[in-house]
Each structure stands twice: as structure tokens, then as C-alpha cells.
Chain A
Amino acid sequence: MKSEEAKTPRREFLETCGKSLPMWFVFLATIRAGTLSATEEPEVYDPKQHDYAMGIDIHKCIGCGRCVNACKIENKVPEEPYYFRTWVERYVIPADGEAQVDSPNGGRDGFPELKTDPDMRRAFFAPKLCNHCANPPCVQVCPVGATFSTQDGVVLVDETYCVGCRYCIQACPYGARYLHPVKKVADKCTFCYHRIRNGLLPACVEVCPTQARVFGEAGRQSSPLRRFLRFNDVTVLKPSLNTNPKVYYAGADREVR
């Protein structure tokens, strides 16, 4: 009698134990996560909390080319001409006819003298760089996953994994990429990712003497970029391509593409 009475509760007990097992796992996992987050350092960099972008004020650019120089030094861009992560173009718009654009050595050594021509309507400088598109065509076409958008909104190239097929260079509508002549991999502006992760400004922004370049985060109230976007009529290059560039231009003529 006694043994038969005991049988049923034991089975029930084991069944209840089995059913409650997942709940125990959840309970333990929450405790673990709780203790971990409590011991975590508050200053850990969370890429999801950032969304980097740049603003460029055409009215302020004096075309000194210091940004091009700083970029080449900071990122060890090949010295030979025609390899640039950022460069400055000079636009000369005549009263009639095509706009003239020149960028000798990316504007690094200054620009040749421009004669004051009565037929010249106006002229200005336009710094160019990778637009760090939110919808980047270069990332779409990479066959091996060597170029990618980071969680903090920067488009990077993994130089140890790139096979140098040049497909991304063809796909970029802004001509922002080049094939590194020594490493034989695609190379481009990183927003100076090694600097911004350490709380510094990108080298081109750091040395811009007129603050024509503004770096920050569009989603952060305290960011200087927020102010730039509020007080300027901004445009992006080639908006029709739906690349959603994150380099915003203030005062850019429609000739700038």
C-alpha cells in the first residue's frame, strides 16, 4: 500500500522537474547576464551607439589642400600621384559652356594661378572623399566580404581578406576607391577609423584651417554635425543613386557630382 501511494507523487515530482527545467535555464541565464553587466566597465565602446558622418561647407573651403596632405601622411597613402583617399577639386564655371574642373595632385601642392577672366561666372573648391553610404554599392558587389559597413556607419576594407578584384572600385559612383599599388588591395577613406575610435577627429578635419569640414554624428545632440545640418541647406552627391551618402555638402553647386 505504502509503496503504491509513494509511486504517483514521485512520477509527478519528476515530471514537474522536467517541465520546469527550461525555466531554470532562463533564470540562471538572467542571473549570469545581470552579474556580467554589473561588472562591465561603463566606458566600453558600443559601435551601435554611434553613426558617424561628415559635413563639408563649400563656402568655407579655401583649397589649401592641407586635408589631402594630412590624409596621405596619417593613412600612409602612396606618395605617387593619383592615389588619394581625399582630394580637393577646383570648379570654374564660365558664363556659358562646360564647368572646368581641375585637381592637380589632388590639390596637395596648391592650384595653378587662375587668371581673372571676365567670362568666369564664379569658382569654388569642393573636397571629395568616400561618402560612407548607408546603402553602399561597393559592399554589395564585393564577392568575398572584404569590404563592409561597420555597426557605427563606416565603410571599411579588410586588407588581409581583399583579393584585389577591383569590382568595388568600378562600383563606386564617387571614384573614392583605388587599388593600392603595393598591397594590391582596394583602399579608401576610413573616416580615420583608428582616430575616431580613440576620440580624435579624422586627420583632414583636424587640420582644416577654416573648419570647412565638420565631423560628428547626426543622431547626437551634442555633435557639431548636428549644428551643421541645422543651419545649412545640405545636399549629397548623386542623390538619385539612392546610395544614402553620409557626407553632407553645404553650398554645393549642381555641377558638383
Chain B
Amino acid sequence: MSVRKIPQQLVPLALIFAVALAALFIARKLLVPATFGDIGYYRAAAVGEIASQPIAYAGSRACLDCHDDVDQIKRQSKHRSVSCEVCHGDAAKHVEAPDQVKPIKPIGRGYCPLCHGYDPARPTGFPQINPDVHNPGRACMSCHNAHNPMLPHAPEECAACHRQIASQKTVSRHATLTCTTCHETPEGHRSTPNLIPAEKPKTKELCGRCHAQGADSPPEIPRVDLETHGGRYVCWDCHYPHFPEAAR
């Protein structure tokens, strides 16, 4: 009864619509990947796939299970924060098969300067050397134990640790001054630098030994009146003694 009331031309149209809708659903079923849109506008299964990729770096905790003896040395040393795999490379395969796969051991002089070669962009106080002049030809390991890099003997030059200051001073007017001209260095500072710091100047009078009006020093050295120059400030509030701007 009711079917007859529908205009005849609509029947094929409805059929076409039905076929198109079915085609759309089939196409969506075939083309849109499974789990797409489960969480957001992406394939939810991709998260799990990415999370299950193989791991190359085992993490320093994995090393402790077997190499606790090395860790006992390292955790007391300056290298305590350096993870094992920084130098020994990715070691997940070594953890799985300790006898078949051995991690790398950097020897020679190429590796340590990646961190300890002098670069003015490195933070002040970070121990740096110039690889060209620091015992050339000798492997770092011949003097330094990488797990406890503290030297068996105290460094002979201040520049061994204070490289940045030393490099700056060598191109300044203060190049000929030794560090001990201004810094009193107790004997213990060489072996335990953090416990026994070197002295820093405290008053203007130290600079005045050369720069005061009546100082007994060569005449080309610039002079100031210590009483009036700089007021209540000390010299190094304005002048950097390792690179005084008078050098320019």
C-alpha cells in the first residue's frame, strides 16, 4: 500500500544511494586502518608499536649487576655522574649475551678530548686540556684511570685545571704574571682543590703594588689614585684581572 505512494522515479535513486552508501562503508572498512580513531585522530596501535622497538642502551643499573667492583671505584670519583655507556657504548646486547658481545673500550687519545679538550664554550671550571700540548703521543689511560680520573700526582701547572683562565691570560697584558703573583696557593690545593681553595685577593692594595701612584714598577704601567679611583669598589668589580681591558 504505502510503497505505491512513493513516486516511481525515487526507487532507482534510492537504490543508487543504497549502493553508494554500501560502497562508502566497504571502502572505509578496507582503507581506514584498524584502531584508527580509537583514542584520537591516529592509529592507536602505532603507540604500542613504537613502544616495543628494540632497546640499544641498557642503562647504568644493568651494569651494576656484574660490575659492582668498578662501580665502587667510580662512585667515589669525579666521574661518578658519567654513565658506563658514555664511554663503553650501547651495551644492551652485552647484557643479553655477556660472553659473545663485548662493549667497546676507547683507548688512545681520541675519545677523552671530546669532553676534556679545551673549548671556550665549555663551562668555566670544567677540567680541560689542550690535546696538542698536553703530553702529546701518550694515551690518556697511561696516566689517568678513567673510572677514577684523579691523577696519581698533583698537576704541575695551574692551567691543567684552569685552562680557560690561562688561555685568556696569555693574550692579555698580564701574560707575564704568574698565578701566584696574586693568588696564594696552599700546598694542598694541588691534590685536593675543592677542600683547600686558592686564596683570592681581598683588597685594592694588591693591585696597587703595581698600579698605585707611588708604586715601584715600570713607568709604562697605568697608574690610578687608590684613594679616589673606583670609590668603595674593589678593582675586580670593574676590571677582569685575567684580561684587563687596558690590553687593547
Contact = CB atoms under 8 A, between A and B. Distances in A.
B229 to A, nearest CB: 24
Given A116-B167, A160-B46, A209-B83, A145 B36 contact: yes
Interface of A: 47, 59-66, 70, 73-74, 90-92, 109-111, 113-114, 116, 118, 120, 123-125, 145-151, 156, 158, 160-161, 190, 193-195, 197-198, 200-201, 203, 206-211
B236 interface: no
B36 A206 contact: no
Nearest to A125: B121
A64 B115 contact: yes
B83 A90 contact: no
A169 to B, nearest CB: 18
B59 A197 contact: no
Contacts of A74: 55-57, 90
Contacts, number: 129
Contacts of B90: 70, 73-74
A125 B123 CA distance: 9
Contacts of B119: 63, 90, 111, 113-114, 123
Given A116-B167, A123-B120, A209-B86, A194 B57 contact: no
Contacts of B53: 193-194
B246 to A, nearest CB: 12
Contact of B50 (A123, A149, A194, A206): A194
A156 B47 contact: yes
Interface in B192-248: 243, 247-248
Given A74-B57, A206-B85, A145 B41 contact: yes
B120 A114 contact: yes
B83 A206 contact: yes
25 contacts: A59-B123, A62-B122, A63-B121, A70-B57, A70-B85, A70-B90, A90-B121, A92-B121, A110-B113, A110-B117, A114-B119, A114-B121, A146-B42, A148-B42, A156-B46, A158-B42, A158-B43, A158-B50, A194-B53, A194-B55, A195-B55, A203-B57, A206-B60, A206-B85, A207-B85
Query: Interface on chain B toward A: helix, strand, loop, or mixed SS?
Result: loop
Nearest to A90: B121
A189 to B, nearest CB: 12
Nearest to A76: B56
Nearest to A200: B59
A73 B247 CA distance: 48
Interface string B113-136: 111011111110010000000000
A201 B121 contact: no
Interface in B118-161: 118-123, 126
B56 A209 contact: no
Contacts of B123: 59-62, 124
B51 A197 contact: yes
Nearest to A210: B81
Contacts of A62: 115, 122-123, 126
B5 to A, nearest CB: 33
Contacts of B167: 116
B47 A150 contact: yes
A142 B248 CA distance: 56
Contacts of A150: 47
Nearest to B41: A145
A150 B55 CA distance: 20
Contacts of A190: 50
A73 to B, nearest CB: 5
Contact of B114 (A90, A110, A120, A123): A110
Interface string B36-70: 10011111001101111111110110000000000
Contacts of A109: 114
Nearest to A59: B123
A227 B86 CA distance: 24
A197 B47 CA distance: 10
B186 interface: no
Contact of A148 (B40, B82, B118, B122): B40
B98 interface: no
Contact of B120 (A120, A146, A209): A120
B11 interface: no
Contacts of B108: none
A207 B42 contact: no
Given A161-B43, A206-B85, A193 B117 contact: no
Contact of B243 (A64, A118, A210): A118
